[in-house]
């Protein structure tokens, strides 16, 4: 089975407050598209790789399967990150209802988000976890870390490449900018796309 992934397009003209076009375009064109290219290259190589010689200490197959996860998650996380930018930060509707229910209030969620974003080395993912039927802010250090049963609703990239051009080392200011630019319609769309209201009622 040959798998190939095409990069998604995003409206990069809807600039988040405090973020420059140069930084966003660099992030999209160099980082994101680079992950897509490497993911496709890995899929090509898996077609020919030596399955019989696979070995968990070192083998071509192991390296390809490791980087398949790394690039697949990098692609998905960046797509959710770009899609979730460009709003006014006003959390409303079903996303707000779910946050109120699971975090107690939006302010509580923001507090945990800030703490998670300062703790993580890579990502913070507001996710609906199918295993317990609750929202979580999952903080990860690397693309290949994941809670497998979770569906990302909003994603914050806290790698330095996401903010260094505009905020140098001031990650706190970048987090506040991200909060002001969240497009919460993206979270609501994801809830609808996966029919998560029905899933949650059944949890």
Interacting residues with Fe ion (CB under 5 A): 31, 157, 162
Query: Shortest distance, CB of residue 150 to Fe ion, whole angstroms?
Result: 19
- Comparing every residue's Cβ against Fe ion, the nearest one is 157
Query: Shortest distance, CB of residue 122 to Fe ion, whole angstroms?
Result: 8
Q: Are 122 and 159 in contact (CB under 8 A)?
A: yes
Residue number with CB closer to Fe ion (39 or 103): 39
Q: How far is CA 111 from CA 7, 29, 105, 114, 166, in A?
A: 33, 32, 10, 5, 23
Query: Shortest distance, CB of residue 91 to Fe ion, whole angstroms?
Result: 23
3-state secondary structure the chain: CCCCCCCCCCCCCCCCCCCCHHHHHHHHHHHHHHHHHHHHHHHHHHHHCCCCCCCCCCCHHHHHHHHHHHHHHHHHHHHHHHHCECCCCCCCHHHHHHHHHHHCCHHHHHHHHHHHHHHCCCEEEEEEECCCCEEEEEEECCCCCCCCCEEEEEEEECCHHHCHHHHCCCHHHHHHHHHHHECHHHHHHHHHHCCHHHHHHHC
Query: Shortest distance, CB of residue 77 to Fe ion, whole angstroms?
Result: 8
Residue number with CB closer to Fe ion (15 or 31): 31
Residue number with CB closer to Fe ion (162 or 182): 162
Residue number with CB closer to Fe ion (23 or 187): 23
Query: Shortest distance, CB of residue 55 to Fe ion, whole angstroms?
Result: 32
Query: Shortest distance, CB of residue 158 to Fe ion, whole angstroms?
Result: 9
Residue number with CB closer to Fe ion (33 or 192): 33
Residue number with CB closer to Fe ion (78 or 196): 78
């Amino acid at each position: 089975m040959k798998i190939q992934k095409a990069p998604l397009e995003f409206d990069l003209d809807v600039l988040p407050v405090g973020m420059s076009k140069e930084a966003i375009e660099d992030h999209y064109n160099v980082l994101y598209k680079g992950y897509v290219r490497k993911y496709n290259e890995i899929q090509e190589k898996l077609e020919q790789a030596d399955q019989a010689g696979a070995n968990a200490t070192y083998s071509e197959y192991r390296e390809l399967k490791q980087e398949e996860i790394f690039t697949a998650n990098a692609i998905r996380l960046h797509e959710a990150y770009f899609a979730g930018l460009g709003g006014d930060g006003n959390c409303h509707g079903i996303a707000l209802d779910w946050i109120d229910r699971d975090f107690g209030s939006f302010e509580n969620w923001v507090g945990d988000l800030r703490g998670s974003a300062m703790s993580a080395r890579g990502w913070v993912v507001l996710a609906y976890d199918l295993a317990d039927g609750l929202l979580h802010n999952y903080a990860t250090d690397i693309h290949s870390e994941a809670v497998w049963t979770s569906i990302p609703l909003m994603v914050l990239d806290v790698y330095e490449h996401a903010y260094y051009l505009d905020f140098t080392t001031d990650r706190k200011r970048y987090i506040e900018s991200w909060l002001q630019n969240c497009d919460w319609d993206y979270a609501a769309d994801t809830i609808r796309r996966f029919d998560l209201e029905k899933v949650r009622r059944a949890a």
